[in-house]
Structures are given as C-alpha cells and as structure tokens.
Structure 1
Amino acid sequence: MQQVPLVAANVATVFMESFLYGIFFVLSVSSIYLLVHRQRQLLQPTLPHLATASVVFMHLCKTPMFLGAIALSVTITAHWILTCIRTFQAFVYFEGGTDPIAFYGNLKQLTEVVKTGFLMASLIIGDTMVIYRLWVVWNRRTAIVIFPLCTLAGLTVCGIGITYQFTQYYPGENVFVSQAGRWITSDCVFTLCTNVYSTAMIGYRVWTSRHVKLYSGTNLVNVLTTFIESAALYTAWTTFFFISYQANSNLQFTAVDTWSELSGISFMLINVRVGLGWAQTGSRIQYDSHAGSNRTTNRTDESSGGSYQMRPLAVKITSVVDHDDDLKAKCAESDGGSFIPSSQ
C-alpha cells in the first residue's frame, strides 16, 4: 500500500478537524442552551424570583454533565486552535515555510506536545462522563463501575505517558516504533474497553428493567439508539485510528487529530437528545404491593432538579388508571351520592 505523504495527511487534517469541530460546536452550544433552558423552567415554579441567569448557572455548576460539557468544549476548542496554529507555523513561520515536512516530522514541537495533552484530556473527560452515565443508570452501584474505573485509570496513565514521550522525541525518530508506540496502543485498548463495556451495560440495564418491560415501545428504542449510535461512532473512529497506526500509515495523524472531536460529538449527541426530550425521564408507573394499586410518580434528578442525567431510565409514559366499581361506590357515598372522577 502506498504511503500517504506526511504533509498531505496534516493538511487534510486541518479540513477534516475544522468540519468536525463545526459539528461539535453546534451540538455543544445546543446542549448547553437546552440544559440552561430546562433548568430555568424547573426553577420558575418554585423560585420564580430567583430564576435568574446567575442562580441557574450556580445550580448547573453542581451537575457533572454540565461541567463535563464545559470541560470538553474547552479542551476540544484548544486542540482545534493549536491545529490551526501549527498550519501557520509549518507553511509560514518555520524556516520561512520552505520545509513543512521537517516541522510536521518533529513531534517534540511545543504546540504538538500541548495539543497531545488536550487530546488526552478530551478522551479522559469523555470516558469519565460515559462511566458516570453508567453509574447513574445502575442506581449508583459501585460494583458496576469498578472495571471501567480501572480502564479509565489506565487511559489516564497512558495519556500522561504519551505526552511525556513526545517531549523526549528527537527529529528523525520513527513514531511507529518509538517508545510512545506502546502508550498509544494501550491508550486505544483502554478507551475501547471503557466505551464498549459501559454502553453494553447501559443497554442491558435499560432493556431488562422490569419497568421498561411493562412499558416498552418506541421510546425504549430511542433510549437504546441514543447510546448505541454515539458509542458506535466513537468506537468506529477509535478502531480506524488503531488500525492505521498499526499499519504504519500516516493516516493515523489525521485520525488522531480528529479523535477528540469525535469523542465530543458522541458525548454531545446524547446531551442534545436529552435536552430535546427524546430521552427524558418522564412519568413512570410504580406498583404498590401493599395498596394493590398503581400510582404515577415523576422522576427527576435530585442533584440538578432536571432529567438531564436520565435516572434510572429514560422512558416517557402516559398512563390511565381505571378505578373499580367498589371504589366508585365508596367515593360516591362519601361525597353525598355524586362521583366526579379526577382528571389524569
């Protein structure tokens, strides 16, 4: 297979990363706006005079998903800016723009090292949010998240190791056989394990829950699709990077530089769908074994006051409760012979 020229791969990266960053930026702004709007709606009925921008922001700052969205926006934006800066350095400033291949071939450049650090930070934040979702969906069971927490720790160590190894890189060294290669391979394995495991466990929890079994339908499909599509997107791109790196192809430079944007897009896709109400926690029927009747409860997130974190499940249900004749008779007797059913 003919090798892709190094400069061509990096120029293509600028276009692809800018395109993907545009998608991420739209999703990120939409996600934050929808979350703020949702939080304001929840505060207005109880605290109408306090539902100001500052109060809403203070409430949102207590929610991990909001903080994760902000952190990802910062790291991915910084990564994209550094990619643009490196383009100017290669074709304008470094040796008067006459030797871009030497610039791109030197991974010890400060901008490359810092950009790699932001990439690793983006992957770590994205995997942390995936694990947090898993923890919430499984009703905060610690045993469920032990394995992904171990892989997250491995990813963090590998991220630090990769960034450090780039500072020790010398011009002319082959990146595919350098000391950083082992860190890069381990990094891919750890993040794949985290995302595949977490997505599978979330899907299993949603599908096998007794409440979902009672009220499964189109909304259940939407819930599962939300997670599976996002995980498939991230997993496919991670696999593409892993294969291109193992094949010693310069395409890995394009894959790795767009990796953070794909991580952010997969995260924001879920947030936007939640904000639009596609996967919100809605009214849910619970069975009371002592009273022998059905009752409807509204589940919202305790920490944020919203349904943004989807606990325990993201299923919206409309229920109708039928009262038997004995109950009607008792109500009629107590009301003086007239029975007026309550609206559902």
Structure 2
Amino acid sequence: MSDAAFPITVAQIVALFMESIFYGIYLVTLGHCLKALLCKKDKFIFKSRRDIKWIMVIVAFLMATFATLDVAFGLRHNLDAFIYYTGPGGATAEFGNITYWVNVMKTVDYIAQTAIGDGMLIYRLYIIYNKSWKMVVLPLMLWVTTTVCGSGIAWVEVTTKHSALLNESSITPWIDSFLSFTLVVNLFVTSLIIGKLWRVRERIVGSSSNPDKWIRVMRIILDSGLMYTLSVVIFFATSIAGNNAQYGVSDVVVQIIGITFNLIIIRVNSASIMSSGIQYPSTVIVPNSGGGIPLRNVNKGHVTTSTFAISTEVGVDVEVVRSTDGDSESKDNGSWKRDYGTDAV
C-alpha cells in the first residue's frame, strides 16, 4: 500500500484507534499484575513490605506512565491537526511538522518503553545465570547502542527544519538501526535463557518423573517475547517499505511491551504455571526467592515432594534439589554438585 493509498491523516486516525484498543488490554493486564505484585495470592490483602518485589512494582508503574502518555499524546496530536490547526495544508501539514513537541514526545515514549522492556529482559538473564556479569556484558552493550540509536531519532526530529514524516531519508537509518538492535537483543537474550533452561531439563530428565514441566518454563519465556518480537518485525517491515502503517504499528508496540511484562507476572502468580501436588521420585523443584541457587543433597530417607513454582521477581527463579537415601548420600554427594554446578533458572 502506497502513501497515496494510505495518507498520513488516515494513518494517524487508525493509529489512535489501534493503540486505544491495545491500551484497554494493557490496563486490564496492569490491574492483574499489580494485584499479583502487591496482594497475597487470591486475596485482596496487601503483602508486607519485605514480601513486595519493589523493582517489579517500579517497572510496572514506569511502563504504565509511558503507555498512558503515548495515548494522550496521540489524542492531542489528532485534536491539533483536525480541530485546532487552521493554517495552510490542513491536517496533513500539521502531521508533517516533525519538530512539533508532541511528535518528539511520542518518539521519546517509544524509546523509553523499549529501553525498560529490553532492560528487564537482560535483568532476567543476569539472575538466571546466577548474577554473572560476563553473561550480560554483550547484551548491555547492545542495549546501550539501541538507546543511542533511539536518541538519534529524537535528535533528528528536533533539528529537522522542513516538513517530514517517519520515512524521511535522514530519519530512516536511525529507525532501522534502532529496530535492528532491538531485535538482536531480544533474540540473543531469549536464546541464552532458553538454552539455560533446556540444559537444566536435560540434566534432570533421568531422575524426574515429569521433566516436561521444564517445557512449561521455557514456554513462559518464549511467550513473553513472541508477541513483542513479532510486532517489532512488522514495524521494521513497514519502516523499510516507507509505509505510513508504521505509525499505527509503532503506537501498538508501546502497549505490547507493557502487556508482555504484565503477562509474565500474571502467569507466574496464577495456577496456569503451577502444578500443585506433583510427585517427584528423586528430583523436585522448590521456590527460592534468593539470587544464587545452590544444588544441595538432602538426607531424609524418602522421596521429597513439592510444588512446581516460579518466583514473581524475575519470571523464573527455581532451585533443583535432589533427595537421596541415607546410605547413598555419601556416595552421591559431590558428583551431583560437580556435574551440575549452580543453576539459577
């Protein structure tokens, strides 16, 4: 579809409509997310301060702020173009004023929301790899590069002296670079997380009665990024094509970033990712709210049972514990730890 078939005036109205729909979805997920973070499970009773994951709460409120501002700026821009602007060129000229503060602020919103979303993904990688800085050095460098490219988009918009849209030749290199690095960060970090989970599953597959429960954990990680990644791919495609559909897609991405974050917290806190009462003959998974997660041998003379659970702090935070009989503990101790080391999932 060419720009003539999809002019900027139509694109902006459609963009506001699309974003409003996803903003409604976002508000629903935000309510459930805050309930999961601030209230006890299945109750409207606030948790104690020490039990609240304040990092997650702060991130949720920041995402809510940028998501709301983006909708508000979109509404303001449409009102300015179709109602308040009376100059030459009409609404088309108003939307083409790329230096207008509403245009710039919508770009800043998108960049900030993306930085928060990608930053949380890297934070999960850091925790899952037992707070290993060497695992996040490259992702952090890519994250900084992405933010710099995003800042370049805003700078070009502010300094451009003539009428232009997002398909302006001076802006598209920054947009394409920004989206490319965003995709690289998401695909690279998600692959590392899934690889870690898969290795843990392979290690316990022989001793667990239900190793496929690890598939659920991997699905949570994949599901959390799939919708976001696909939306960025679509945005990238419309940007390369120079199509005005990129306005609607980019506005939707701002909401999708918040939705995916909320869904992780909701699913972690819900029964959909918990298998209560699952019996594990020799290997169990138990909650652990700490950072590092050591493997340790327990001597109880019987098989331990537990609940498959995931911490709401990072989305996936579990501990692998092996139960052994008393007469075999000394023989098994050490080899288990040597083979598996420390797995922060």
What's the TM-score once normalised by structure 1's chain length?
0.78
Shift of 1:229: 1.8
Counterpart of 1:95 in 2: which secondary structure? Answer: coil
1:309 aligns with 2:309: no
Cα-to-partner distance string for 1:194-226 (whole Å, 9 max, x where unaligned): 111111111111111156534444532322112
Are residue 219 (structure 1) and residue 213 (structure 2) matched? Answer: yes
Report Cα offsets for 1:295-343 as digits up to 9, x if no partner: 6789999xxxx6432453489x9x9x79799xxxxxxxxxxxxxxxxxx
Q: Quick one: which amino acid aligns to residue 13 of structure 1?
A: A
Contact 1:124 1:156 in 2 (8 A): yes
Q: Distance in 1 between matches of 2:275 and 2:142?
A: 29
Q: What CA distance in whole angstroms lies between the structure 1 residues aligned with 2:242 and 2:213?
A: 44
Residue 35 of structure 1 is matched in structure 2 by 37
Change in Cα spacing, 1:137 to 1:90, as seen in structure 2 (3 Å) is same
| 2:86 alignment partner, SS class | helix
Distance in 2 between the 1:101 and 1:300 partners? 54
Select the residue among 228, 233, 240 that pairs with 2:227. Answer: 233
Cα distance in 2 for partners of 1:171, 1:274 equals 49
Report Cα offsets for 1:140-193 as digits up to 9, x if no partner: 111111121111101111122211211112333354243222211111011111
CA contact (8 A) 1:212 1:220 kept: no
* Aligned-partner Cα distance in 1 for 2:195–2:275: 18
- Aligned length in residues: 308
Q: Which amino acid counterpart does residue 16 of structure 1 have in structure 2?
A: M
The answer to whether the Cα contact below 8 Å between 1:106 and 1:172 also exists between their aligned partners in 2 is yes
Q: Which residue of 1 aligns with 2:8?
A: 6
> Which residue pairs with 2:137 in the alignment?
146
Q: Contact 1:76–1:260 at 8 Å: present in 2 too? A: yes
1:157 has 2:148 as partner: yes
1:280 positional shift:
6.2
In the other structure, the counterpart of 1:201 is: 192
1:284 aligns with 2:289: no
Match of 2:340 in 1: none
Q: Percent identity?
A: 25
Counterpart position of 2:85: 94
After TM superposition, the structure 1 = structure 2 runs for residues 59-78 of structure 1, keeping only pairs within 5 Å, are 60=52, 63-78=54-69
Aligned to 2:19: 17
Q: Tell which structure's C-alpha radius of gyration is larger.
A: 1
Tell me the CA shift for residue 293 of structure 1: 7.3
Q: Could you tell me how far 1:251 is from its partner in structure 2?
A: 1.0
Q: Which moved more, 1:30-39 or 1:168-177?
A: 168-177
Normalised to the residue count of structure 2, the TM-score between the two structures is: 0.77
The equivalent residue for 2:331 is none
Q: 1:291 to 1:273 in 2, by over 3 A?
A: closer
Cα pair 2:267 2:273 within 8 Å, conserved: yes
Query: Matched residues in 2 for 1:201 and 1:259: separation?
Result: 23
CA distance in 2, matches of 1:73, 1:252: 22
1:230 Cα deviation from its structure 2 partner: 2.3
SS where residue 288 of structure 1 aligns?
strand
Q: Tell me the SS of whatever aligns to 1:11.
A: helix
Equivalent residue of 1:38, what SS?
A: coil
CA contact (8 A) 1:137 1:312 kept: yes
Q: Structure 1 residues 236 and 307, CA, compared in 2 at 3 Å: closer, same or farther?
A: closer
The whole-number CA distance in structure 1 between the counterparts of 2:88 and 2:256 is 30
- Distance between the aligned counterparts of 1:228 and 1:40, measured in 2? 26
CA–CA separation in structure 2 for the residues paired with 1:188 and 1:234: 12
d(CA) in 2 for partners of 1:307, 1:117: 29
Q: Would you say the 8 A contact 1:89–1:97 is kept in 2?
A: no
Aligned residues of 2:273 and 2:309 also touching (Cα < 8 A): no
Gapped regions of structure 2 (runs ≥ 5)? 277-283, 287-294, 328-345
Structure 1 residue 292 displacement after superposition:
8.6
The aligned amino acid for 1:165 is V
